[in-house]
A = this chain, B = another copy of it.
Amino acid sequence: MNRYCFGVDIGGTTVKLGLFNASGDLLEKWEIPTVTEDNGKAILPDVARSIQKKMDERQMSRDEVLGVGVGAPGPVDSEGTVYGAVNLGWGTFSIKKELQRLLNMPVEAGNDANVAALGEMWQGGAKGYTDVVLVTLGTGVGGGVIVHGRILSGSTGSAGEIGHVHVEDGEETSCNCGNKGCLEQYVSATGVVRLANRKLAESDRPSMLRDRAVSAKAVWDAVKQGDPLAVEVAEDFGWYLGKALAIVAGVVNPEIFVIGGGVSKAGNVLIDYIQKNYQKYAFSGCRGALFTLARLGNDAGIYGSARMVLD
């Protein structure tokens, strides 16, 4: 008998779904829209219907499906309870129990960033490792901690919130979370732009970044071309992120850090800036940690979700 599992990654506008075999090969992926009306009450029924439809299309029996894993954009504990997901309109309830009821098959649920970390461990940048920290540098900064091959969810699903680790005592602007001086304020795509704009405003020094709309990509392109002001931005970026990951390492001591998200498309140049600061701030017993780039891109969530049901 063939064995399959489904991985589901629920985002604010689309739900990504993937069909995997038990060896971890992605056989097919597709998307459905996320219907957030009425506090997102249609989302899980829509997911269930889409999975049922795929099983019918492929003439799959229930016995062949090991289960369904789901990642959601909110804190989710190890029992599959989500503690609110603002972008979906969700309050607190058990994703696991609700989807199990709809599909009558085993379900596991996790926070989207944590699930992405599990995906990168299983089939991505950290393949072959079991103790992994993923940090995703996108519009915001997400994170996930994997310990001995399993997601560290935390007591209320808020473990791995690396974007909101405090790294700057002197910050005067508030982060989206309400605190001041969070890592996200410096190393997200918007954070990098903010660092660059600050540096541009400080002086009239020439730079490729002047007199144009600055993006994170433009900053890293300028770094690669040796633009001195852009290089200073990269140094600041590396100082904040290297310092933060050194602190994270002192708490969970991973084998490997995986850097993902849109900003990570700049490539290995990022890692040099991060790693030298990591080495400076890390506790001696944690300095051997490796650094690598994420490999699964936007599919990390469906991979990690599927992996949850194979445990």
Contacts and interface: CB of A to CB of B under 8 A. Distances in A.
A148 B83 CA distance: 18
A87 B83 CA distance: 45
Nearest to A131: B155
Which of A83, A130, A253, A286 has the most C-beta atoms of chain B within 10 angstroms of its own C-beta? A253
A189 to B, nearest CB: 20
Interface string A148-173: 10001111111111101110010000
Contact of A253 (B158, B280, B285): B158
A157 B178 CA distance: 35
A283 interface: yes
A251 interface: yes
Given A78-B148, A252-B252, A283 B158 contact: yes
A1 to B, nearest CB: 33
B162 A251 contact: yes
Contact of A158 (B155, B165, B286): B286
Contacts of A213: none
Main secondary structure, interface of A, reads loop
Contacts of A166: 243, 246-247, 281
Interface residues of A, number: 45
Nearest to A167: B247
Contact of A285 (B161, B165, B281): B161
Closest 4 CB pairs of A and B: A154-B253, A158-B285, A159-B253, A131-B155
A177 B179 CA distance: 30
A248 interface: yes
Nearest to A133: B251
A252 B253 contact: no
A154 B179 contact: no
Given A159-B253, A164-B250, 18 more contacts: A130-B155, A131-B155, A145-B251, A147-B152, A152-B152, A155-B253, A156-B288, A157-B285, A158-B250, A158-B286, A159-B251, A161-B251, A162-B250, A166-B247, A179-B280, A248-B251, A251-B252, A252-B252
Contact of A156 (B75, B250, B281, B285): B285
A255 interface: yes
A157 to B, nearest CB: 7
A247 B159 CA distance: 11
Nearest to A254: B155
B251 A155 contact: no
A131 B158 contact: no
12 contacts: A131-B155, A152-B252, A154-B253, A157-B285, A158-B249, A158-B286, A161-B253, A162-B250, A164-B250, A164-B283, A165-B250, A165-B251
Contacts of A145: 251-252
A284 interface: yes
A117 to B, nearest CB: 13
A100 to B, nearest CB: 21
